[in-house]
Amino acid sequence: MSPFTLSGRNLGKYQILEPLGSGGMARVYRAFHAQLNRFVAIKVLRGDLVDDDTFLARFRREAQSVANLRHPNIIQVFDFDVQDDITFMVMELLDGDTLNTRLSDYRVRGEHLPWGDMIRILLDVLDGLAYAHDEGMIHRDIKPANVLLTKRGQAVLADFGIAQMVGGTRHTVSGALLGTLNYMAPEQGLKNICDVRTDLYSVGIILYEMLTRQPPFDADTPLAILMKHVNDPLPLPRLVEPSIPPPFERVVLKALAKEPAERYQSADEMAQALHTAAGEAGIEIPEQISLPLSFTTPALPSESVAVFSGDDRAKLAAMGMDNTGAATDAHLEQTITDEIDALKAEEQAVVAHEADSVSDKLRPRQGVGAATLTSIALAVGGNLLMVMLMGINGNIWRTGWPVELFLVAGSMAWLMTAVSSIWFLIPIYILYFNGFLFVYYVVSGNWDHWGFLWPLEIFIIVGSVWRTISLASDRQQATIMSRQLGRRVLQRTLIAAGICILISLFVS
Its domain, for residue 231, covers 99-289
Residue with the larger pLDDT of the pair 475 and 412: 412
* Residues 403, 504 contacting (CB under 8 angstroms): yes
Out of 141, 159, 199, 312, pick the active-site residue: 141
Same domain flag for 168 and 274 = yes
pLDDT in tens, 320-351: 444 333 344 444 444 444 444 454 454 444 43
Residue with the larger pLDDT of the pair 136 and 203: 203
Highest mean pLDDT among 78-92, 110-124, 156-170, 366-380: 110-124
Q: What is the pLDDT of residue 490?
A: 81
**Phi and psi at residue 398, in whole multiples of 5°?**
-65, -40
Domain count, the chain: 3
pLDDT in tens, 284-328: 999 888 876 544 333 333 333 343 333 333 343 344 444 333 344
* Residues 429, 415 contacting (CB under 8 angstroms): no
pLDDT in tens, 133-160: 998 888 888 999 889 998 888 999 988 7
Same domain flag for 41 and 79 = yes
Q: Which of 90, 108, 140 is the last residue of a domain?
A: 90
> Is 360 a member of any domain?
no
Could you tell me how many residues make up the chain? 508
Q: What is the pLDDT of residue 385?
A: 65
> Is 362 a member of any domain?
no
Q: How far apart are CA 206 and CA 208, in angstroms?
A: 5
Q: What is the pLDDT of residue 177?
A: 45
Same domain flag for 70 and 137 = no
- 338 as an active site residue: the answer is no
Instruction: Residue 103: give its domain's CATH number.
Output: 1.10.510.10
Same domain flag for 84 and 103 = no
Same domain flag for 477 and 443 = yes
| Sequential DSSP letters for 74-123 | BPPEEEEEEETTEEEEEEE---EEEHHHHHHHHHHTT----HHHHHHHHH
> Is 163 a member of any domain?
yes
Q: How far apart are CA 466 and CA 452, in angstroms?
A: 23
Same domain flag for 14 and 50 = yes
Q: How far apart are CA 237 and CA 48, in angstroms?
A: 40
Q: Is residue 399's pLDDT more than 50?
A: yes
Q: Which of 28, 59, 90 is the last residue of a domain?
A: 90
Same domain flag for 389 and 460 = yes
> Is 144 a member of any domain?
yes
> Is 322 a member of any domain?
no
Q: In the structure, how many helices (H) and strands (E) does the chain have?
A: 20, 9
- Mean pLDDT over 29-53 rounds to 80
Same domain flag for 34 and 113 = no
Mean pLDDT, the chain, integer: 74
Same domain flag for 249 and 389 = no
Q: How far apart are CA 288 and CA 291, in angstroms?
A: 9
Same domain flag for 261 and 184 = yes
Q: Is residue 366's pLDDT more than 50?
A: no
Same domain flag for 121 and 212 = yes
Q: How far apart are CA 351 and CA 444, in angstroms?
A: 60
Q: Is residue 6's pLDDT more than 70?
A: yes
Q: Which of 258, 289, 320 is the last residue of a domain?
A: 289
Cα angle at 278 between 277 and 279, to 5 degrees? 90
> Is 304 a member of any domain?
no
Amino acid at 126: L
Same domain flag for 149 and 183 = yes
> Is 315 a member of any domain?
no
* Residues 292, 105 contacting (CB under 8 angstroms): yes
Cα angle at 78 between 74 and 79, to 5 degrees? 130
* Residues 270, 203 contacting (CB under 8 angstroms): yes
> Is 191 a member of any domain?
yes
3-state class (DSSP) for residue 36: coil
Highest mean pLDDT among 76-80, 184-188, 439-443: 184-188
Instruction: Residue 26: give its domain's CATH number.
Output: 3.30.200.20
